[in-house]
């Protein structure tokens, strides 16, 4: 998939699911449950053991899912993730070397930032979108405030996103939202209730779609 097509799918979906778990054993089942709920854009964090293998397997078994690598902290990890099949990269902070690698391989990159200066720095370095983190602390009002002077930068709030607040961030000007902890409920996974993840994915997507129409 070309870079433009990947970006089109990401922004069209409006929701990016973050899979951050302690074991790689459940990764494919988690991704499948989220896809069943309509979530077709997912990110596996590189802090998860076996993340590279999970990306490879997900690309094989979930062909309709746009699969990326998250928590990419350096250029070496970025290249490894891309070679494993990652279709986009996400960082938690301003990592210019990761942006450079993403450009080299023609892969979309969404670096993390907080302040206006960091956000603009990422954009000027070639970010395709900028992850605004931590959204739970900053709130929708912050997204609206940043969107005012920097309307050209697609902002992606991350951290503490749920079906109950996602609409507020979209209405504030967010291009899309990222959800992790609430979406990939650890307690539900521990007891094998993957249908909880499916239901939450459905609720989150519905909230975003309704906000986009308003």
Q: Which residues are catalytic?
A: 43, 131
Closest CA to 85 of 22, 176, 1: 1
Closest CA to 58 of 22, 89, 26: 26
Closest CA to 62 of 19, 107, 106, 4: 19
Report how far residue 66's alpha carbon sits from residue 38's, in angstroms, rounded to the nearest whole number.
Answer: 12
What is the phi/psi pair of residue 19, to 5°? -105, 110
Q: Per the structure block, which two tokens stand in for 17?
A: 């699911």
* C-alpha pair distances (Å), 183 with each of 27, 57, 73, 145, 186: 14, 21, 23, 27, 9
**DSSP H/E element including 213:** helix 195-213
Q: H helices then E strands: how many in the chain?
A: 11, 9
Contact 131, 113 (CB under 8 A): yes
**DSSP H/E element including 113:** strand 112-113
């Amino acid at each position: 998939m070309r870079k433009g097509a990947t970006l089109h799918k990401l922004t069209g979906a409006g929701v990016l699911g973050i899979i951050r778990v302690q074991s790689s054993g459940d990764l494919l089942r988690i991704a499948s449950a989220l896809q069943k709920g309509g979530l077709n854009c997912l990110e596996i964090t590189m802090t998860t053991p076996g993340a590279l293998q999970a990306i490879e397997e997900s690309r094989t078994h979930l062909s309709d899912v746009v699969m990326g690598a998250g928590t990419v902290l350096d250029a070496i990890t970025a290249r490894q993730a891309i070679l494993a099949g990652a279709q986009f990269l996400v960082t938690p902070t301003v990592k210019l070397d990761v942006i450079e690698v993403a450009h080299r391989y023609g892969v979309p990159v969404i670096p993390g930032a907080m302040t206006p200066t960091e956000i603009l720095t990422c954009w000027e370095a070639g970010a395709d979108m900028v992850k605004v983190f931590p959204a739970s602390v900053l709130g929708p009002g912050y997204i609206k405030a940043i969107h005012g002077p920097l309307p050209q930068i697609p902002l992606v709030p991350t951290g503490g996103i749920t079906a109950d607040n996602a609409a507020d961030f979209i209405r504030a000007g967010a291009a899309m939202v990222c959800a992790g902890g609430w979406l990939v409920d650890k307690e539900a996974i521990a007891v094998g209730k993957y249908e909880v993840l499916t239901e939450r994915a459905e609720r989150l997507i519905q909230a975003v779609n309704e906000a986009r129409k308003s």
